[in-house]
C-alpha cells in the first residue's frame, strides 16, 4: 500500500498511543482535540492531493527502491527535476492549507541521512546505510508521515553538549546494549510530531570527540514507550475552542510544534543510523539544513499567495482597490513572494548528485533562499497589515455578528462596499489576522525567522560557500593584478 488515502492516514493516527500534554492536561484523543485537529487536517491534505490525478506529477514519484508510485514526501530526490518538483509541491500545499503541512522536515531528514550514511559507511566500513534503506522502504510501503527531529534545547549555548550542567539538554546515548541503545534528552520546536508515525532523529550541531555520545541518528515510532510531548502554545489558539469559524481565521487548517521528550527510550540497532561517528555530524547537519532551507522557498511562498489574495479581497471589500498606492503595495508583496520562489527553484536546478545517487541542492543558494525568508515575509506581513486596516484587530466577534439584536448593528457599521456582505469582510480580515498575528503566523512570519536555523546560521554557510578567494582572483584578472 504505497499510497495511503487521507481517511487511512487519519485512522492510522487513532491506533497510535501518543502521550500528549496540552495546557497542563493529558490529551486522551489528539486526533479530535479542537486545538490539534486543524494541524492534522494540514497533514491529511498531503494524502488528499496525492490521490488527485490533477496533482499526481507533483505529489507522487516513482521509488528507485521498489519501482512503485510513492508519495513524494517519502521519496529520495533522484534528479534536479525531483528537487524542483519538491518546491512546486510545497507551494501547492501552502496554497491549499495556508498553514504548515508538516511533512517537509521528515522528507528533508531522510534525504540527508541517506547520502551521509552512504559516505560514512564507505569511509568507516559501517552498515548504517543498509539499515536506513530498509527503514525507508518501510516508510514508502506504509506511506508513513515521518517527523525530522534535529533541534535540541541546547541549555547554555556557550558550552558543548558534554559540558552542560544537565546532560539531557542534548539527546544522547545513556546505554549501549547487545540489541540496541537507550537514549535520553529532548527535541524542541518539533513541527507536526503529534501527527507523525515515526521520528527520525539527527544531531543538532557539529560534534567533537568529547561529544561522541551526542552524535546519534535513529528512527523510532512516534508513540514509542518513553516518548511524550508537551504541546506548544500559539497566539489565539484557544479561539479554536469557541466553535467560531470566522474568529479563528483559518478554521480548517493549522500547524503545531511540541517539546518531544525521550525518557530512556530503547532504539534497536536496526533503527540506528549514527552512533558516535562525530566526524560526520556536521555533514548531516549541513545537508539537512540545506534541504530544509530550500523548502522555505516553496511552503512560505504558497502561504504568501493566500495572504496576498486575502489582502487584495480586503481592499476590494473596503472600496480602495483602485488607489495607486494600494496597487503598488500589492505589486511589492507579489515581487517579494516570487523572489523567494526564485531562490527555491534556483537552488534546486543547481543541485548535484551525491555518492549515494540522491541529489543535493546547491548549498549556497539554499542558504540565500532562507536568508531572504528571514526578511521578506515580515515585509509582506507589514504591507498586509497596512492594507487591511485597523479593523483587523478591533473587530467584534462572530457571536456579536450572530446576536439577534446587536448583530444588525455589526452588519450596519462594519460593512464596506454595499454589495459585499459584512460577513465576507469579517472573514477575510480574520484570515489576514491569522496569517500575520495568529496561529498561522507561527508557521509563516515567526517561523520564517527561526525555522531551519536562525539568520546567523545561514550567514555562516554563505560565508563558507561564497568562495570569496575565487572572486578575488576574478577581480585581479580583470584589473591586471598578478595572481600569487
- Grade residue 438 by pLDDT with cuts at 50, 70 and 90: confident
pLDDT tens-digit readout, 264-316: 999 999 999 999 999 999 999 999 999 999 999 999 999 999 999 999 999 99
pLDDT value at position 447? Answer: 86
Edge-to-edge strands of the sheet including 272-275?
A: 146-149, 198-201, 216-221, 272-275
pLDDT value at position 439? Answer: 84
In angstroms, the CA 262 to CA 184 distance is 5
Cell numbers for 376, please give them: 521578506
- The mean pLDDT of 365-381, rounded to a whole number, is 97
CB 302 within 8 A of CB 340: no
Using the predicted structure, report yes or no on whether residue 445 has a pLDDT greater than 90.
no
Q: What CATH number was assigned to the domain covering residues 283-466?
A: 1.20.140.10
pLDDT tens-digit readout, 97-109: 999 999 999 999 9
The more confident residue out of 166 and 484 is 166
Q: What percent of the chain has pLDDT over 90?
A: 96
Q: What is the pTM of this model?
A: 0.97
Using the predicted structure, report yes or no on whether residue 1 has a pLDDT greater than 70.
no
Q: Biggest alpha carbon distance in the chain?
A: 85
The number of residues making up the chain comes to 484
- At residue 91's C-alpha, the angle toward residues 89 and 95, to 5°, is 115
Q: Give the active site residues.
A: 100, 104, 191, 257, 292, 296, 299, 447
pLDDT tens-digit readout, 325-368: 999 999 999 999 999 999 999 999 999 999 999 999 999 999 99
- The mean pLDDT of 160-187, rounded to a whole number, is 98
pLDDT value at position 484? Answer: 79
- The mean pLDDT of 229-242, rounded to a whole number, is 95
Cell numbers for 275, please give them: 552512533
- The mean pLDDT of 46-71, rounded to a whole number, is 98
pLDDT value at position 321? Answer: 98
pLDDT tens-digit readout, 413-428: 999 999 999 999 999 9
Average confidence score pLDDT of the chain: 97
Q: What is the CB neighbour count within 10 angstroms for residue 253?
A: 25
Using the predicted structure, report yes or no on whether residue 443 has a pLDDT greater than 90.
no
The residue ranges of every structural domain in the chain are: 283-466
Using the predicted structure, report yes or no on whether residue 441 has a pLDDT greater than 80.
no
Q: What is the 3-state secondary structure (H, E, C) of the chain?
A: CCCCCHHHHHHHHHCCCCCEEECCEEECCHHHCCCCHHHHHHHHHHHHHHCCHHHHHHHEEECCCCCCEEEHHHCCCCCHHHHHHHHHHHHHHHHHHCCCCCCHHHHHHHHHHHHHHHHHHHHHCCCHHHHHHHHHHHHHHHCCCEEEECCCCCCCCCCCHHHCCCHHHCCEEEEEECCEEEEEEEECCCCCHHHCCEEEECCCCCCCHHHHHHCEEEEEECCCCCEEEEECCCCCHHHHHCCCCCCCCCCCCCCCCEEEEEEEEEEEHHHEEEECCHHHHHHHHHHHHHHHHHHHHHHHHHHHHHHHHHHHHHHHHHCCCCCHHHHHHHHHHHHHHHHHHHHHHHHHHCCEECCCCCEECCHHHHHHHHHHHCCHHHHHHHHHHHHHCCHHHHCCCHHHHHCCCHHHHHHHHCCCCCCCCHHHHHHHHHHHHHHHCCHHHHHHHHHHHHCCCCHHHHHHHHHHHCCHHHHHHHHHHHHCCCCC
Amino acid at each position: 500500500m504505497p499510497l495511503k488515502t487521507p481517511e487511512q492516514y487519519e485512522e492510522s493516527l487513532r491506533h497510535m498511543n501518543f502521550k500528549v500534554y496540552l495546557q497542563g492536561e493529558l490529551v486522551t484523543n489528539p486526533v479530535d482535540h479542537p486545538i490539534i485537529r486543524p494541524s492534522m487536517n494540514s497533514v491529511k491534505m498531503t494524502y488528499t492531493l496525492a490521490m488527485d490525478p490533477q496533482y499526481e506529477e507533483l505529489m507522487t514519484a516513482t521509488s528507485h527502491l521498489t519501482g512503485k508510485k510513492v508519495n513524494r514526501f517519502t521519496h529520495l530526490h533522484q534528479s534536479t527535476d525531483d528537487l524542483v518538483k519538491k518546491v512546486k509541491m510545497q507551494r501547492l500545499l501552502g496554497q491549499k492549507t495556508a498553514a504548515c503541512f508538516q511533512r517537509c522536515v521528515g522528507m528533508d531528514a531522510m534525504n540527508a541521512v541517506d547520502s551521509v550514511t552512504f559516505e560514512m559507511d564507505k569511509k568507516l566500513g559501517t552498515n548504517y546505510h543498509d539499515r536506513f534503506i530498509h527503514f525507508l522502504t518501510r516508510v514508502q510501503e506504509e506511506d508513513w508521515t515521518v517527523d525530522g527531529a534535529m533541534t535540541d534545547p541546547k541549555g547554555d549555548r556557550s558550552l558543548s553538549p558534554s559540558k552542560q550542567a544537565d546532560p539531557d539538554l542534548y539527546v544522547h546515548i545513556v546505554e549501549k546494549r547487545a540489541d540496541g541503545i537507550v537514549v535520553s534528552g529532548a527535541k524542541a520546536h518539533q513541527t507536526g510530531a503529534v501527527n507523525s508515525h515515526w521520528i527520525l532523529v539527527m544531531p543538532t550541531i557539529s560534534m567533537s570527540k568529547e561529544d561522541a555520545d551526542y552524535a546519534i541518528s535513529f528512527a523510532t515510532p512516534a508513540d514509542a514507550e518513553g516518548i511524550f510531548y508537551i504541546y506548544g502554545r500559539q497566539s489565539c489558539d484557544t479561539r479554536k475552542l469557541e466553535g467560531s469559524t470566522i474568529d479563528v481565521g483559518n478554521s480548517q487548517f493549522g500547524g503545531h510544534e511540541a517539546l518531544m521528550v525521550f525518557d530512556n527510550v530503547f532504539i534497536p540497532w536496526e533503527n540506528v543510523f549514527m552512533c558516535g561517528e562525530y566526524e560526520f555530524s556536521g555533514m548531516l547537519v549541513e545537508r539537512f539544513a540545506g534541504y530544509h532551507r530550500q523548502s522555505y522557498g516553496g511552503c512560505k511562498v504558497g502561504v504568501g499567495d493566500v495572504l496576498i489574495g486575502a489582502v487584495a479581497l480586503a481592499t476590494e471589500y473596503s472600496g480602495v482597490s483602485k488607489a495607486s498606492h494600494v496597487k503598488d503595495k500589492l505589486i511589492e508583496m507579489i515581487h517579494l513572494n516570487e523572489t523567494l520562489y526564485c531562490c527555491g527553484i534556483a537552488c534546486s536546478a543547481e543541485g548535484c548528485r551525491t555518492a549515494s545517487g540522491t541529489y543535493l541542492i546547491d548549498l549556497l543558494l539554499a542558504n540565500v533562499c532562507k536568508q531572504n525568508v528571514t526578511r521578506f515575509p515580515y515585509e509582506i506581513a507589514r504591507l498586509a497589515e497596512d492594507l487591511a486596516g485597523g479593523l483587523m484587530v478591533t473587530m467584534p466577534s462572530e457571536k456579536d455578528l450572530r446576536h439577534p439584536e446587536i448583530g444588525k448593528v455589526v452588519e450596519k457599521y462594519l460593512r464596506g462596499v454595499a454589495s459585499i456582505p459584512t460577513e465576507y469582510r469579517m472573514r477575510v480580515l480574520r484570515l489576514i489576522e491569522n496569517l500575520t498575528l495568529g496561529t498561522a503566523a507561527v508557521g509563516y512570519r515567526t517561523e520564517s525567522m527561526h525555522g531551519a536555523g536562525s539568520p546567523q546560521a545561514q550567514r555562516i554557510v554563505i560565508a563558507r560557500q561564497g568562495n570569496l578567494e575565487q572572486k578575488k582572483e576574478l577581480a585581479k584578472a580583470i584589473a591586471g593584478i598578478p595572481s600569487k
